[in-house]
Amino acid sequence: MKKILFILMIVGGFVFNAKSQSSDDVLNLLIQKKVILQKDADSVRAEAAIAAQANLSKVKSFPVSAARKITIAGYTQIRYQALEETGKIDGFDIRRARLDVKGVLSPYWSYRVQFDLAGTPKLIDGYAELKLNDFLNFTIGQAKIPFSLENLTSSNKLELIDRSQAVEALVARGKDVGGNQNGRDIGVQLGGTILKLKDRSVVDYRLGFYNGSGINTVDNNEKKDYAARVILHPVVGLDISGAIYNGSRFVPEIKEVKTNGVVTTAAAAAKNVDRSRYGFDLNYDWNNLGIRGEYIHGTDDKINRDGYYILGGYYFLQKKLQLIAKYDFYDADKAKANDASTWYVLGANYNFNPNVRFQLAYSIKKEEGPSINNNYTSAQLQIGF
């Protein structure tokens, strides 16, 4: 090892004094002069390759040739689900395949365009940002609505593979009455910092106005939705937020039809459904410990729903391995009995490097009413760039 370090010093000296020569040329010259042996040169090359790869993994961004400075990033998530419920099929799927382009046009203007190429390709984000000062900034276009901690957390940053029940049902995602809008809408958002203390943000705010019709579409009614969020940072590592959302969705009405004693459902004419939410959330990070939790209440037309979750995670092995436990409750209709469900989720993440992560989770699902064996195991590999 000492010999290799000595050789590296010699090579460094040659390169410093003769920059036109590559380190490979210098090593070949030293071999010819019988200063070093071939095996020593091969060891030096191997050490240099390992060091170069380690340095490359720390680089956050790379330049792209363009008229203006842009950043291109992305990630894909390959998932496998083992479903215990009878009739459900286990298998692989491409959960997400995101391509994210960001650019800076001036000290004030920037933009973002993000696509999801999994399944049917679609535009996820498409907005411009105008940053005037700490207090007043604008986001104009298609972006996440400022509601729910878990909704605002990027999918590639979530501790667990799946979002919580209440978030999926009440924040414009898979089980919302307005369909899956990936937690986003088209409109304008104002935001910034209200109060600072010694250059540390203490109170932030977000205020948004939206079509209310979802992503990649025009508005279908005259009403506009609004959202407001206030975030407190009382101490370093602790965030406490409260948010409201009010609007409507133009959705098909489902009617029950009784024929010869048999009840079936059928879609009727679409109608405008009032849709309002309020919620609170907490986020705390201290060393290797992370705690998240939130409560969401939603009203769709005359149906009241609510849910909450609490999640705790802890890192081991120099933040390579994270173990997580989550309690997740959701009541789809508070006026009905046997309509709530509780999930207990145990998970683990292993970060191979900043760009590769493997996730594993087991979900135990308990519904009120008849017992169903619908627990499931999920495994997901995430690769980003």
The answer, yes or no, to whether residue 49 has pLDDT greater than 80, is no
CA distance to 9, 35, 41, 55, per residue, from 12 (Å): 5, 15, 13, 17
**CA count, 13 A, side-chain hemisphere, 109:** 5
Whole-number percent of the chain with pLDDT over 70: 85
The answer, yes or no, to whether residue 51 has pLDDT greater than 50, is yes
pLDDT for the residue 34: 76
Q: What is the pLDDT of residues 69-91, one digit of tens each?
A: 899 999 999 999 999 999 999 99
The answer, yes or no, to whether residue 176 has pLDDT greater than 90, is yes
CA 64 from centroid of its chain's CA atoms:
25
pLDDT bucket at 370, cuts 50 / 70 / 90: confident
Q: What is the pLDDT of residues 252-285, one digit of tens each?
A: 666 666 676 666 666 666 777 889 999 999 999 9
Tokens of 159: 């501790």
pLDDT for the residue 276: 96
**Separation CA 135–CA 227 (nearest Å):** 18
| Range from 22-31, 86-95, 114-123 carrying the lowest mean pLDDT | 22-31
The region that residue 179 occupies, defined by phi over 0 for left and psi between -120 and 50 for alpha, beta otherwise, is left
Alpha helices (H) along 58-146? none
Number of other CB atoms surrounding residue 196 within 10 Å: 14
pLDDT bucket at 3, cuts 50 / 70 / 90: low
Question: Is 14 strand, coil or helix?
Answer: helix
**Separation CA 310–CA 325 (nearest Å):** 9
pLDDT bucket at 346, cuts 50 / 70 / 90: very high
CATH 2.40.160.10 placement within the chain: 62-384
Measured over the CA atoms of residue 176, residue 181, residue 183 and residue 184, the dihedral's sign is negative
> Which of these CATH numbers, 3.40.50.1370, 1.10.3720.10, 2.60.40.420, 2.40.160.10, describes 62-384?
2.40.160.10
Better-scored residue on pLDDT, 256 or 180: 180
| Mean pLDDT for the stretch of residues 135-155 | 98
pTM: 0.80
The answer, yes or no, to whether residue 101 has pLDDT greater than 80, is yes
The answer, yes or no, to whether residue 7 has pLDDT greater than 60, is no
Angle at 346 between CA 340 and CA 352, to 5 degrees: 140
DSSP 3: H
Tokens of 147: 């509601």
The region that residue 296 occupies, defined by phi over 0 for left and psi between -120 and 50 for alpha, beta otherwise, is beta
The answer, yes or no, to whether residue 323 has pLDDT greater than 90, is yes
